[in-house]
Structure 1
Amino acid sequence: DLDTARTELTASVDLLRTLDDERELATSLSDRGFVEVFGGSLEDADRILAEAEAMAESLDDRRRLAWIRQHQAWVAFLSGDTALAEERLTASSGMFDDLGDRTGSGWALGLLAYVRFFERRFADAEELASSVRRDAVELGELWAPAMMDSLMASIRLWTGRFSEAEELSRRALTGFRELNDRFGIIQALAPRMRALVALGRDQEAERSLEEALSMADSFGHLAIPTMAAAGTAAHLGLGARAVTLGEVALERMLAMHASGSEARVTLALGLCQVGDPDRALATLLDVTEPSPYSQAVTAIASAMAGIPDDAIRAADAVTTDDTSTYLDRVLADIAAASALTSTDTPLAIERLERARRTATEAGDAAAIALSRSASQAMDEGVDVGRVEHLGDGWKRVIAGLVSAAAGTPATGSTTS
């Protein structure tokens, strides 16, 4: 309930200023700034936390300062500055260690595990998450173990262990439901939705998507629920829905002054799925944090738009990047195959075969259907319009790639 939290903490800050109680004021300012992290303005959060930081330093309140550093790390993380987030979390966990505060240290290291996950340092992230979870269980905590289960579900997801991801996310979801913690529920639903798609349980994935969206407005401008839903829609091949949700997520992230790169990439993928690669490429121009995911979508959009050299360049950047996921590589190879069809048919077929092999080894039902259908359409001339278990958005992508390979690239959007 962010509105009530904001109102009550603002009143607390105002009252404590009149009472000239700096120690309690530093605490209220710290909490007030933290509210802005969860759906307000990161600029406001930074400003409020800076005042709390200066006050805690003048009082030599090390415990409060450690929490403020953790909150400031959230600001850096959501702003897209993972290096600064890691620096602040290292400082925060060090202070908590000096104080013998295992709970505080767990909060700092738990967020650090998420930072490393978003940096695609999966092994480091899992090692940290496992350690934080063990300590939290020893301390009898309920929230932290569930949050680390959510993170480990995400790691399992993007390393192709979908059954484990589903099991971990289900365990986390049960824990958060018992705590009635909506933020936690969203964190658990995010990897759960994608794992269900990968396992071919599309109807369950769509029900989870709807649950996430039902809570989205509770978090103000915080775009996590909408972003998770947009990514799931794109994974399912629901292009129009991915576009709508991607636009909402981007709008919310910009309103919060958070990094909008991931939202832009997902929006661009949705635009490819509705047959508008030109707008997808325009959207990708504003991505400030390139990643294998952004390069994979750039490859698809470029191939559909009839820019084969750019498609091959982006695809190769994905396949030579050790941090790319199986799905990044599948998309990249399919895009490269389309771009190579007119100049190097054997290599195009090789890229299609590799896409099928990558998808099959991962076991992602959607990726398998996509790679098989792409191979049939490009290599064998099969019409994939009636292929089952393949979302209409993915069919539109394949059609666009086939057309581009034949010299008639897609322009503009189609109805979906």
Structure 2
Amino acid sequence: MIPVTRFLLGRSGGGDGLRFSRPGAPVVVWHLTPRCDLRCRHCYAATEDRGELTPQEERRLLDELAALGVPVLLLSGGEPLLHPRFWTILDEARRRGLRVALSTNGVHIDGETARRLGDAGIVYAGVSIDGDERTSDAFRGVRGAFRRAERGIVALTEARVRTGLRFTLARSTAGALEAVFSLAGQWNAARLCVYHFVPAGRGAADRAEMLSRSETRAALTRLAALAEGAPDLEVLTVDNAADGIFFALSLLRRGEKERAGAVLELLRRSGGNRSGEHIVSLRWDGFLFPDQFSWGHPLGRFPEQSLEDALRRSAFPLAIMLRDRKSFVKGRCRECRWFDCCNGNLRARAEALTGDFWGEDGGCPLEDGEIRSA
């Protein structure tokens, strides 16, 4: 995640301590289930595979997550609230002292559900909204999804659950960027996460949704201006570590050399994209992956392996290579002088666009001259 608000305004966000440190254990995104009642164009979990863990395996998994000391457990899906044992899992996680966040489409959250989530100690809920009502419903494939998600967001904020919006930046949604900022203010959202479209899962069949480099740069410039005009909203971009370099170079062009240097130092400290190291994706069937877009590249499987073996002692070739990406990346990524700031960006997108997991990431917003300039 790139903390736009911190980079441009100098205001720290809630996750900066974790973002700019090197935790002993990764953030774990547990995709509880593929079940979902929306048909989002960009869904990475679009599958009918229901090979979910048993209750006994879930309890063992939570024991291991607590023993490892994971800083955050993010419950996702599909739609996690549709898992038949969602509330049991949440209660078991709380009893083990785990910090739990939620990624949801919001359509199943009413006042009572929001209160239960608050009572269960959810530290953050991210709700997906992809523009104004017309844009969001079209992108998510179900009419009425926007209004139901709006009800969920309002209920969560009224229940004092820290709540943010999750917006996917794509060709169909880019024109609604200003509307989403307005909605975040209207709904008292604490955070807005702007995700770049990744052509994986269902999105692999809709690559036209991915913005070109020039379109991405234009969108990031608009986003920066909107973030500077909403200083009380924490704004981040996701799935494109090179965004941070784009913002640093933009500051340099504005003559803010000291702030640009501070941004680059933070980027180097965070190490860029750390899929498979600082964050991992655990699917409902126990397979562990570098991130939710790399489900063709397992790092191990629970419960056949313990989580510690999979995360800390994995002998899978990919796990070893991810720790030394500079030796394997190709194309512009290999030539880029900013590699230590982005770590080769998102490998899943590189594979989707080039057919090679170690190919160049075509989602990078930097121009050729920028990747070579000091």
TM-score tier by shorter-chain length is 0.3 to 0.5
Name the one with the larger helix percent. Answer: 1
Name the one with the larger strand percent. Answer: 2
More relative contact order, 1 or 2 (CA 8 Å, 6+ apart): 2
